[in-house]
Structure 1
Amino acid sequence: MDEAAKRSGLDPALARRLQGALTAGGEELFQVITDPAPEVLRAALRNRSLTEDHLLALLKRRDLPEDLLKALYGLKISDSSRRIKLALARNPATPSQVMQAILPQLYLFELVGLCFLPGVTPDQKVAAERVILQRLPTTPLGTKITLARRATSVVTGELLKEGNSALMEACLSNPRLKEVSLFQFLNGANATPDAISSIARHPRWKSRPNLQMAILKNRKTPAIWFTLFLPGTRTPDLNNLLASRRLTPPQKKLVEEELGKRGVRRK
């Protein structure tokens, strides 16, 4: 082997490691896949003793080159293994082409877990969220409720838009839900009186002045929230509410009554 390596200009030590990668037995192969040389790892992929466990161990490495990961994905053993596909999806070095092929094959909450995995790249997170959103129309309500409690801000915001009362509480309690999603919802067509009330009474959201104003500007908001929120609203904001074309006449009357209590005459 050393003579052949010399003739080919290959480093004898590397040549021996390449030969070992091709011929190692099952136990020895676990040591081979710790080798720092990519060419040794590529040779290991052609080893007849290669198993799912070897590939899972290899995929724990974060220094694998993209071409190696592509080759690994193309193996027959990878095609039939969910564990390998999930490990590939979790590896931050996996190229986008492979990710796009794998993500649709993962379970919904595997995709959710991928979004929160330490070291996941922004592109991988966005790709996983995109697949989740694509599945929402056919996802059962019970699963959506669980998803609303666990998902990223993007997915939770999308679930909130549905306006489903059963989903509302789960979405509002998700610590990743962003205030901007609530503004979008309150200005959307699915903001029902019950949904608005859920936001208005929620411990996390009810005391936020900007949200209170968004609630007061919605013509579907029940009168009780005008009664509760108007006394704490600044006079200039009350005047703006009164000038809004979005409020119903009964809502405007409540605003006028509050201004009257403050001795402010309507212009």
Structure 2
Amino acid sequence: METDSGDGLGDRLRDANEEELGALIRDRLPEIDARAARQAFRNPFLSGPQIETLAASPALSAAYEVRREVVLHPRAPRLLALRLVAGLYWADLARVGTDPRLHPVVRRAADLKLIERLPGLASGEKMAVARAASANVIAALRLDPTPRVTGALLENPRLTEGLLMPLAASEKASPLVLARLAADPRWGVRPGIRNALCRNPATPLAAALAL
């Protein structure tokens, strides 16, 4: 079980003022374990150079939780965040891609890596991504043939009619997915979506007639 460094070092890293934080990281770096380091990331005075110092520690950089904290910190040096983002799990990639505090380049890198991994995700995992994904990932998921994934996508607060129109108009879309879209109480009633579904020969007849 991971324990905090001696004498409450994690608490001190979290609560220190700017000067104290710098001294702790400089003087006690070998004593800082992953749990204590995570507390440092909660300190509002943590700076980019200090993040680099923590990430340069072999013991800390070996800990997934620390690498994740680096990427998710808005003051993390961009090149460092970009180097680490590829190693994040899919759920954390989704978090990075939708975090407005982070640099757009870092968010975009997370989106691209997540899109690359989508084919290997189970349906339940894709559903979790679909509910909260960024616009870039929505665009990659919208033609998924699984109605449950589409249903989750329709719940995404970042979804727009513009992102949905290519699905509604696609003759390659699954008829079951198109029927799910047509039946959606939020999106199926929109004139643009309804017109696209009605014109789409892949839309099941019963679904089109109900529009």
Give TM-score scaled by structure 1 length.
0.65
Distance 1:62 1:132, change over 3 A: farther
Which deviates more from structure 2 when the two are superposed, residues 32-41 or residues 160-169? Answer: 32-41
Offset at residue 50 of structure 1 (A): 2.8
Instruction: Supply the AA of the counterpart residue of 1:85.
Output: R
Displacement of 1:122: 3.7
Task: Choose which of 174, 182, 188 in structure 1 pairs with 2:170.
Answer: 188
- Residue 225 and residue 110 in structure 1: after superposition, are their counterparts in 2 closer, same or farther (change >3 A)? closer
2:96 corresponds to 1:133: no
Conservation of the 8 A alpha-carbon contact between 1:62 and 1:91: no
Select which of 64, 71, 75 maps to 2:46: 64
Closer/same/farther in 2, CA of residues 189 and 70 from structure 1, 3 Å limit: farther
Superposed displacement of residue 134, structure 1: 1.4
Q: What is aligned with 1:27?
A: 7
Which residue is 1:156 aligned to? 138
Candidates 154, 158, 181, aligned match of 1:199: 181
Distance (whole Å) between structure 1 residues aligned to residue 177 and residue 12 of structure 2: 58
Which of 135, 139, 144 aligns to 2:126? It is: 144
**Within 2, Cα distance between the matches of 1:118 and 1:41?**
30
**Higher alpha-carbon deviation: 196-205 or 50-59:** 50-59
Shift of 1:91: 1.1
Select the residue among 32, 39, 48 that pairs with 1:50. Answer: 32
Deviation at 1:36, TM superposition (A): 1.8
Q: Deviations over 1:15-61 (max 9, x none)?
A: xxxxxxxxxx94375547724248635523x5443333332222112
Residue of 23, 26, 36 corresponding to 1:40:
23
State whether residues 130 and 141 of structure 2, in contact with CA within 8 Å, keep that contact through their aligned partners in structure 1.
Answer: yes
CA offset at residue 224 of structure 1? 3.6
2:190 corresponds to 1:211: no
Structure 1 residue matching 2:86: 3-state secondary structure: helix
Work out whether residues 131 and 152 of structure 2, in 8 Å CA contact, stay in contact via their aligned partners in 1: yes
| CA displacement 1:118-173 (0-9 Å, x = unmatched) | 74444443332222111112222332133223433432332122233342222223
State the shift of 1:221 in Å: 2.8
State whether residues 98 and 133 of structure 2, in contact with CA within 8 Å, keep that contact through their aligned partners in structure 1. Answer: no
CA distance in 2, matches of 1:70, 1:223: 59
2:78 equivalent to 1:93: no
Q: Which of structures 1 and 2 has the bigger CA Rg?
A: 1
8 A contact 1:66–1:94 mirrored in 2? yes
Instruction: Quote the residue 2:158 is aligned against.
Output: 176
The one-letter amino acid paired with 2:120 is T
CA shift for structure 1 position 180: 1.4
Aligned residue type for 2:202: K
- Structure 1 residues 196 and 41 mapped into 2: Cα distance closer, same or farther (>3 Å)? same
Deviation at 1:225, TM superposition (A): 4.8
Distance 1:222-1:70 versus aligned 2 partners, 3 A rule: same
Q: What stretches of structure 1 of length at least 5 have no aligned partner?
A: 1-24, 230-267
Give the unaligned 5+ runs of structure 2. Answer: none
The answer to which of 84-93 and 33-42 deviates more is: 33-42
State the partner residue of 2:86. 104
Task: Work out whether residues 35 and 41 of structure 1, in 8 Å CA contact, stay in contact via their aligned partners in 2.
Answer: no
How many angstroms does 1:208 deviate by? Answer: 0.5
